[in-house]
Structure 1
């Protein structure tokens, strides 16, 4: 006896067995302590052989084994607590939650829910993929819902199974475990390739989660820094086919005005086209941010944005939650010029439609925050009414966000210095030139005429 725990020298250690599952192959080590059989599974044969060799060595040295745990007695004193990936991922969510915006919380949950099924040690008894996603995305990686209590009754058994069958975080140090995890980032739930920007965002979150594992002592270093894995090529440049010219913009705004609930939102679309506001910035645009003369150039003073993240991810429980501008600190202001045409549209909007009680220019159908579904339906109807059949079938201004692309492209093609355009648009110059430096629709003919003139001059 060692203290109150029973020990024995009657130990037999068997060979390694290979076990194939849908989620991958594991290697099992089996041994007998007294009359009870024990086993442990590993992601690679090398890890299994190392574990078995340790057991053999201690047994040959006369080390007693603990009957209750099946481990050598010395391991009871020195063995570290093994943290599973699932436990660590939940801890990572809890660490990030208080300081993250709703969109960021949502992105973290989406990324972790993508990689976690690849870190399960067995397929036996595994919940279906829809159930796994509902559990991971809807409860496990939502800090507020998890803090409120256990998962919904139909997910309790699934949560218990995942908690018991997730690999240790330390397994990520093995490239043969980590590479399939990275490969899942390149696929959507339906198995088709994910957008390069999505892959890049999810990899960044995975990298940060692994960095947190290093910080907590679960890993000696971040294995992703040395992993040779190539993500899909990131195609950031704006497709020139989505960008409208001024005539098309006017026709679309006129079509919006003719729709039943459209007139109050003409200015909403106009601030994206003339001032390059993001939709979240336009939704939260307030009267106090406007500096408008009777006519001519004015200015917009932007300090907040209200991107849509969903009620589950916000602090207030509302779908939209005002916060500082993207890539800006709290209370930082971005000043954007208001061209004469936009100045007129905004002044007319204030006269005809006023503002909400808290000063917002735009409101939803019931007076609350404007929803993307509401203005998205209006925009789709306006495209159908204002564009030709071929234009409506093309990518031209397919999304309201494309109005922002048109604004930035217009500024660049108008000769505004890139540094000034970046400041107005709220981008770095590097991102601006990589993403937005495209010609607007209708400029090709003018540029070709310039080339023709140059060729004629060369013949004279």
Structure 2
């Protein structure tokens, strides 16, 4: 409403027990008034109205006030928004995803803190954010240790406004901070991309809440670090090396303790069946068809990834989920070769199963943790491989056994569609990840062509 439609009357004293003074004015035909304890305050308010009229300000027809006198709500801080965003994402996110969101929000929150007196130590700051602020139930729903409560109170006061991310320079500085680890060295490219992805998704939510008209992060020209998606062919073990490694696993921890022997079938499932580690850990006897001769079948439908108690709804270290990127009840039948059938039959004869039917357990009968089978694998590499090969990337991680399996299938000429179906991948992902490993097929093709040509020489 333009100032020409505004009329301001004088200050009038009200006859009440406590002295008060009225200021009345009209905006667009609507009468507004406000009361003040002293005449000076009333005169000051009236002067502001008159000044706004002279300056040609627009008056709001609802509040009756000019733009300069409307009290704007303080901008939501990044920290307050991040807590709200986490509460929205948490119930529908997988445990590993929750961990990634938590880590990303922590990094951005630290980058958006003002230099305020009383800053806690960096270690305490990250502990408070990682273990208390960005998990559910949140800090407002449980009792906090005193030092954690004080730290989060400081964070709430020091956090910059969410609207600051609308400034391209600030948003770019936040993105640049994601490229560094705590010690100042460069972070892994995949880590940086994951954190940026979380920030972009959070800003989409901010747009939904009306905090921004468009996502302020996606408009920034910022060079994303390149992520190597192809499997390094150096990690792929050939069949002879794989057999040597599986044999070495059986010697780890001695015969009676059987720390390694009880895990031979776990690693064999990754190599001969192409299982993901979490799929092998969750394998049950009821999921297997193990004939005395020939090929068998594994009906994969559950995974038991190690994720940590903070991230699971059950409060247990291992989550119990369906297959990766699949509907909860989907089953993936995987043919397993006679070598794996024999190993699993022997495992069942010697070790039996856990109470819930799982094939593989730790020494106490619980779910096998990733740290447990990783340690066994590292000891087996030292036992099975020459020192120069131990220092190489060859089968450096248990997951590399799956890479070896899929690479072997592709190189042997199995159709990519069949390999993708057994592995639980799309054909596009399979071929892009194993592109370098397919070089072995060229060597086989070259050899066959050479043999054919030599017959006519």
TM range (shorter): 0.7 to 0.9
Post-superposition offset of 1:220: 1.1
User: Per-residue CA shift, 1:362-411, capped at 9, x if unaligned?
Assistant: 11221111011211111111111111111111111111011011011111
Post-superposition offset of 1:8: 7.2
Partners of 2:438 and 2:377 in 1: how far apart?
A: 20
CA distance change for structure 1 residues 73 and 404 in 2, over 3 Å: closer, same or farther?
Answer: same
Partners of 1:265 and 1:348 in 2: how far apart?
A: 12
Partners of 2:445 and 2:425 in 1: how far apart?
A: 30
**In the alignment, what sits opposite 1:161?**
154
Of the candidates 395, 419, 433, which is equivalent to residue 397 of structure 1? Answer: 395
Post-superposition offset of 1:127: 2.4
Cα RMSD, aligned residues only: 3.0
Partners of 2:190 and 2:275 in 1: how far apart?
A: 21
CA distance change for structure 1 residues 86 and 388 in 2, over 3 Å: closer, same or farther?
Answer: same
CA distance change for structure 1 residues 9 and 285 in 2, over 3 Å: closer, same or farther?
Answer: farther
User: Per-residue CA shift, 1:272-298, capped at 9, x if unaligned?
Assistant: 111111111111111121122212111
Partners of 2:436 and 2:326 in 1: how far apart?
A: 25
**In the alignment, what sits opposite 2:369?**
371
**2:450 corresponds to 1:453:** yes
Post-superposition offset of 1:248: 0.7
CA distance change for structure 1 residues 9 and 233 in 2, over 3 Å: closer, same or farther?
Answer: farther
Give the match's secondary structure for 1:3.
strand
Partners of 1:111 and 1:325 in 2: how far apart?
A: 25
CA distance change for structure 1 residues 218 and 318 in 2, over 3 Å: closer, same or farther?
Answer: same
Partners of 1:409 and 1:74 in 2: how far apart?
A: 67
**In the alignment, what sits opposite 1:92?**
85
**2:124 corresponds to 1:131:** yes
Aligned counterparts, 1:278-427, within 5 A = 278-427=276-425
CA distance change for structure 1 residues 161 and 452 in 2, over 3 Å: closer, same or farther?
Answer: same
CA distance change for structure 1 residues 171 and 295 in 2, over 3 Å: closer, same or farther?
Answer: same
Stretches of structure 1 lacking an aligned partner (at least 5 in a row): 12-56, 64-71
Partners of 1:145 and 1:327 in 2: how far apart?
A: 28
Aligned counterparts, 1:133-282, within 5 A = 133-146=126-139, 148-259=141-252, 260=254, 261-282=259-280
CA distance change for structure 1 residues 368 and 9 in 2, over 3 Å: closer, same or farther?
Answer: farther
CA distance change for structure 1 residues 78 and 366 in 2, over 3 Å: closer, same or farther?
Answer: same
Post-superposition offset of 1:77: 4.9
Cα contact 2:95–2:312 (8 A) shared by 1: yes
**In the alignment, what sits opposite 2:31?**
none
Write out the 4+ residue segments of structure 1 that deviate beyond 4 Å after TM superposition: 4-11, 57-63, 72-78, 443-449, 454-460
Partners of 1:107 and 1:59 in 2: how far apart?
A: 54
Cα contact 1:244–1:440 (8 A) shared by 2: no
Give the match's secondary structure for 2:299.
strand
Give the match's secondary structure for 2:35.
coil
CA distance change for structure 1 residues 61 and 409 in 2, over 3 Å: closer, same or farther?
Answer: same
Cα contact 1:320–1:369 (8 A) shared by 2: yes
Partners of 2:189 and 2:332 in 1: how far apart?
A: 29
Post-superposition offset of 1:121: 2.9
Cα contact 2:189–2:225 (8 A) shared by 1: yes
**In the alignment, what sits opposite 2:35?**
3
Partners of 2:199 and 2:381 in 1: how far apart?
A: 39
Partners of 2:453 and 2:244 in 1: how far apart?
A: 36
Partners of 2:224 and 2:442 in 1: how far apart?
A: 38
Partners of 1:59 and 1:168 in 2: how far apart?
A: 32
Cα contact 2:52–2:66 (8 A) shared by 1: no
User: Per-residue CA shift, 1:127-158, capped at 9, x if unaligned?
Assistant: 23212211111111012252542432112222
Give the match's secondary structure for 2:160.
coil
CA distance change for structure 1 residues 416 and 124 in 2, over 3 Å: closer, same or farther?
Answer: same
**Larger radius of gyration between Structure 1 and Structure 2:** 2
Give the match's secondary structure for 1:266.
helix
Partners of 1:84 and 1:316 in 2: how far apart?
A: 32
Aligned length: 409
Partners of 1:419 and 1:116 in 2: how far apart?
A: 44
Partners of 2:72 and 2:333 in 1: how far apart?
A: 59
Partners of 2:134 and 2:364 in 1: how far apart?
A: 32
Cα contact 2:412–2:441 (8 A) shared by 1: no
Post-superposition offset of 1:126: 2.6
Mean Cα displacement is larger for which, 130-139 or 429-438?
Answer: 429-438
Partners of 2:162 and 2:334 in 1: how far apart?
A: 47
